Structure 1
């Protein structure tokens, strides 16, 4: 069995593009996922800086598997400015085309003090509109099981897909997010696997002050079992490491990416895949 496409969220290896490219090269991979470069979100880079990113990746032969937007993520709430999200999506349309990817990661908006029913109503309305706009831009939105209304609930995720009713909305499954949000990731994946188009790989266990992140296979996220389930269901997307060993973007302080931790996580993922193939 051949390995799936292996990638990693670049800024987990370091803030600058050179750090990110070097870590991917050390793993001998040819794919990367982009979130920030130099601490700046891809949509916020000026044109010259973005063109340099795209040119550098093309020169190195690196394919971009996904761009991680801030749409609906932990930095926003459902009562925030929707216009900001629409503008980010508009900007990412041509930028994703230049990078050779259609995939844009989104989440489904943390609550902003609304009653649950109103929160749900607004999320469904926004994501329906986002999916319609994404389809016009030739993009596919990937909703992650992270922050927001549908993040930790398989039924909500399925309801989100049904409400949008669009080929421009699929699911992104992160193996480690159940550790952070208190649910079984494997159980969630079992319900959602046929709708998953992209996968983040991380692992961890409950710690004294929140999740204690580890390299894949050393925590409680059942990463190996998730990989087996994906393979059994014919998953053909990328596996992208987001180890959080040194960088946790939504935590106090955040940290800075580490090439050593990133590479260790990548090698651990390869070992899990090799063991599964024996």
Structure 2
């Protein structure tokens, strides 16, 4: 139970957060989780540097700080196949990042690495069939190496060939056919990528091994047109966060719910610096997730519409 809240997570669930959404410095990331009373963290960047790019001394210092704080690392968010690496890009970047991250995951005590599934060529040079074929070929190679290294790649419903379509995600999983490829589901990505997250989740439940929490709404644009996406506290947007969480509970999910507020930090938009009160805002976000989770029961049926 987190201090000062009285809201324990549902049975089988633990809370965590993507640390650099609170602050660039690891010390502040740790402090945000300690203020929440949470014992786990998800890692992406430290001082603006991806975990794979830290030199050995910097990584060793980070691992020691996490051990001293008694914070468990639940997942490492890589750049493998992400929004900045199209399918026509250099595959060696991803192979090298996986090779570097695998032993670091072992040192941190986690087996999960977040990946995506490659955007199309920025010039639109590939048809859908060829794009998908190349994605599945690369992901199979990555999964084979991940399995050999004892880590699991978690594909996110975000950028890439399989990011916004449940049928494509299932095809990716079935054709790669590896225990080293599973899914992380982000509740808030649908609005930005043009799909209903809850509907997509219903088709992917057996493969979901990690859940990230964000929420959003779209401001009205000129003449009633769709406007800018605004990220909100969980439950204050239109992404049906509570419905998604109830759905995974009703289907036996146990594991982490990890916050990714996106209130200030959005790497895909080039926004990587937290606000001056980023830790306080991160804690506020976590408290609202705790309150939202307290209203959920695994026995309650999830809505079907």
TM over 0.5, yes or no? Answer: yes
* Greater radius of gyration (CA): 2
- What's the counterpart of residue 163 of structure 1? 175
Consecutive unaligned residues in structure 1, runs of 5 or more? none
CA-based RMSD of the aligned residues comes to: 1.3
Q: What are the Cα deviations for residues 45-74 of structure 1, in whole angstroms up to 9, with x where unaligned?
A: 000000011111011110000000000101
Residue 210 of structure 1, CA deviation: 3.0
Consecutive unaligned residues in structure 2, runs of 5 or more? 1-9, 222-226, 299-305
- What's the counterpart of residue 113 of structure 2? 104
- What's the counterpart of residue 188 of structure 2? 176
- What's the counterpart of residue 195 of structure 1? 207
Separation in 2, partners of 1:136, 1:211: 40
After TM superposition, the structure 1 = structure 2 runs for residues 1-278 of structure 1, keeping only pairs within 5 Å, are: 1-2=10-11, 4-112=13-121, 113=124, 114-207=126-219, 208=221, 209-256=227-274, 258-277=278-297
Residue 260 of structure 1, CA deviation: 2.0
Q: Say if 1:102 and 1:139, in contact at 8 Å, map to a contact too.
A: yes
- Tell me the TM-score normalized by structure 1: 0.97
Residue 185 of structure 1, CA deviation: 0.5
Separation in 2, partners of 1:64, 1:214: 25
Q: Say if 2:153 and 2:181, in contact at 8 Å, map to a contact too.
A: yes
* CA pair 255-211 structure 1, distance change in 2 beyond 3 A: farther
* CA pair 185-45 structure 1, distance change in 2 beyond 3 A: same
- Tell me the TM-score normalized by structure 2: 0.89
Count of aligned pairs between the two proteins: 278
Q: What are the Cα deviations for residues 112-159 of structure 1, in whole angstroms up to 9, with x where unaligned?
A: 121211111100000011000000110000000000000000000000
SS in 2 for 1:238: strand
Separation in 2, partners of 1:263, 1:251: 23
Bigger shift: 258-267 or 239-248? 258-267
